[in-house]
Amino acid sequence: MIDLDWIAKPFGPGDIAGDGTKKLLGTSVATPSLLLRETAQNSWDARLVDEVPEYQMRFRRIGGEVIGVLRDHVFTGTSPSSGLAEVLRSPGVEAIEIHDRGTSGLDGPTNNDSQVDEGEPTNYRDFVLTVGAPRSRTLGGGTYGFGKAAAFRASTCGTLVIWTRILIAPGQFEERLIAAAVNPNFQLGNRRYTGQQWWGVRPQGDDSSVVQPVRGTEARAIGEAIFERTFAPGETGTSLLVLSPAYEDGRDSFIAESRAAVPINLWTKRLPNQASSRRMNISLTVDGEPIHIADSKDSRVIAAKEACLQAVRHAQAVGDGVEASAEVDPSVTVEEIWCRSPRTLVGHLAVTPCAVPPGDPFKSHENRVTLMRNQAELVVEDREYPSYRNMIGEWVGVFKPVRELDSAFSASEPPTHDSWNPNSLESAHKRLVNTGLRRIGEEVRTFLAPADAVEDEPQESASQLAAALGVLSRPVAGRSASAAPRPGRQSRDVKARTSKVEVTGYELVPQSEDGDPSTAITRITLLARSDGEYVRVTPKLDIGIDGRNSLGDPDEVYIGSWNTSEGVKYDGDGVRVRSGETFTVDVCYPDGVAIDCTFLGEDA
């Protein structure tokens, strides 16, 4: 069996320290959920045409001969900042083995500087050599390099073994194996290293950081000695071994969270009787034994979500032959989500009542709208609407944008793919995504309480604020002169209060060099006032004339961002803040108009 070469990356211009790579994903998602989401999305994107991909996560303990192979043949050296050496000295090591089959595997060139033609695969270098490389597959779900970063985050020693099998010509396959680690930067002799390391083959006569994978029979020999799931004849795909997983709350807790994360994040791939082009076979095993993953037979919440998705598919007429003939549950309400200016169909929202029985494993996941992309149909976010008056009880919903806007919603996602942030988009797409999210909230509000969507609280009209904001934008020709500010107007004239929120100030945000010159932004300072610990703040925005009369078309007035003690948030539906906290909100609107802003507050 071949011994791999250890290659550490020395610092060069513009390099990021290795442990900084793992921080790129942030910490908004718990490690079990993040690991499953990112690796499963990559597997889905790599699926082969006319095949149902297989995805499996195996929790195992390795020892004896396997540790010997890792210690003696794979990890032939390591950085002093790595915990890998200590891990390999243990008689038994925890590991997570993740594999997919029925996928393309990590094909394409194995070096980072080769030019490839448009449409040619670069999966190997995107996953192994590059952090955050976008998937070239149209409207896919993942980002290859970030899937790798999620796996590194899941390992206490930041170390993976990667084994892949690809098709290089009809009937001809190639196996590739390499190990990689991301650790804190370190120094050997007089040279500094980033902490990124690989174990593979160093090209003969080359003492640089260039590294190639082991190929062919040598790769197979090591792979079959390490991995439980090998490759059957004709199979392609990829296997990862995550060494020494970060079981912060214990192994059983990590497994339980991973098990729950499958139906939360991947339920769309497990619908019974759906077209093979939409399915993925997903499983988990613990010490060689398969474990049950809840589905629609176990949970009314999942069953209701599936009914909503089928209704949205039917409305959007994707036309794969299943949706057209599938029966739509009559309890599901489907609404078109439109932007009025410009008039554009943004997507479809399906909502349905969902009486959740005691003992439902996903009891805490009702009363949410699942947001997902049109074609990938991978869950982006389960969005809650806690401030809405609810007259029907428990419910669930599903929203998908239309295919034409899929790329706009995709572009608004952060690397973790767990939210839509319209503020990151250019003006035209920002307006469509922002309006879509706001319209979803409006339709949910109407569904829950058709006659009286939100319970009124004692409040003052914000018309004074709207008139005052007219001061901050240039007057529009033909507008009433009364829209102009009165001389000597003081800040007390712009207070808009409810029993829970007070507007204490405002300022016009200067236009940035790359900003939209037709859009003005006003930053409003708010104070949360309540005897409770938290206040939920919900905005009501419109364009006004004389600060009082609505134009009835609020699409062009939207929340850019909230800035609270917990950081910046991009949520047009509102924000939760601590009582007594002063925070700001950026309101975006067409330059030259007055706006009508009301902020509703209630204990949260």
Asked whether residue 461 carries a pLDDT value surpassing 50, the answer given is no
Asked whether residue 114 carries a pLDDT value surpassing 80, the answer given is no
In this structure, of 45-49, 248-252, 545-549, 553-557, the range with the lowest mean pLDDT score is 545-549
Q: What is the pLDDT of residue 331?
A: 93
Q: Give the start-to-end residue ranges of the domains of the chain.
A: 5-290, 300-448, 463-603
Asked whether residue 468 carries a pLDDT value surpassing 50, the answer given is no
* Over residues 64-90, mean pLDDT: 89
* pLDDT > 70: percent of the chain: 81
Q: How many CB atoms lie within 10 A of CB 220?
A: 17
Asked whether residue 287 carries a pLDDT value surpassing 90, the answer given is yes
- The token duo for 29 is 């998602």
* pLDDT > 90: percent of the chain: 45
Mean pLDDT computed over every residue of the chain? 82
In tens, the pLDDT along 217-242 reads: 999 999 999 999 999 999 999 999 99
CB of 222 closer than 8 Å to CB of 215? no
Q: Is 517 in a helix, a strand, or coil?
A: coil
In tens, the pLDDT along 470-529 reads: 333 222 233 333 333 333 333 323 333 345 888 888 899 887 776 667 778 899 999 998
Q: What is the pLDDT of residue 271?
A: 93
Q: What is the pLDDT of residue 222?
A: 97
* Over residues 527-536, mean pLDDT: 88
SS3 helix, strand, coil % of the chain, rounded to 5? 25, 30, 40
How many whole angstroms separate alpha carbon 556 and alpha carbon 591?
10
Asked whether residue 570 carries a pLDDT value surpassing 90, the answer given is no
Asked whether residue 582 carries a pLDDT value surpassing 80, the answer given is yes
Q: What is the pLDDT of residue 229?
A: 97
Asked whether residue 24 carries a pLDDT value surpassing 60, the answer given is no
* Over residues 36-45, mean pLDDT: 92
Asked whether residue 467 carries a pLDDT value surpassing 50, the answer given is no
Q: Is 525 in a helix, a strand, or coil?
A: strand
pTM above 0.85, yes or no: no
Q: Which stretch, 97-111, 432-446, 544-558, has highest mean pLDDT?
A: 97-111
The pLDDT confidence band at residue 173, using thresholds 50, 70 and 90, is very high
Q: Using the CB atoms, write b or e for 90-111: b if 16+ within 10 Å.
A: eeebbbbbbbbbbbbbbbbbbe
Q: What is the pLDDT of residue 601?
A: 87
Amino acid identity at 254:
F
- The token duo for 568 is 């910046």
In this structure, of 17-21, 114-118, 437-441, the range with the lowest mean pLDDT score is 17-21
Q: Which of 115, 62, 119, 111 is nearest to 91 (CA)?
A: 62
Token look-up 């019974």 returns 272
Q: What is the pLDDT of residue 604?
A: 75
Q: What is the pLDDT of residue 19?
A: 61
In tens, the pLDDT along 390-440 reads: 888 899 999 999 999 999 999 998 877 788 988 778 777 888 898 899 889
How many whole angstroms separate alpha carbon 17 and alpha carbon 195?
6
CB of 525 closer than 8 Å to CB of 582? yes
E-strand ranges in 149-277 read: 159-169, 172-182, 186-188, 191-200, 214-215, 237-243
Asked whether residue 323 carries a pLDDT value surpassing 60, the answer given is no
Is 1 or 252 the better-scoring residue by pLDDT?
252
CB of 85 closer than 8 Å to CB of 70? no
Token look-up 């949520």 returns 571
The pLDDT confidence band at residue 79, using thresholds 50, 70 and 90, is confident
Token look-up 């060099």 returns 513
Q: What is the pLDDT of residue 425?
A: 81
Alpha carbon 213 to chain centroid, angstroms: 31
Q: What is the pLDDT of residue 142?
A: 43
Asked whether residue 339 carries a pLDDT value surpassing 50, the answer given is yes
Domain 5-290 has CATH 3.20.20: no
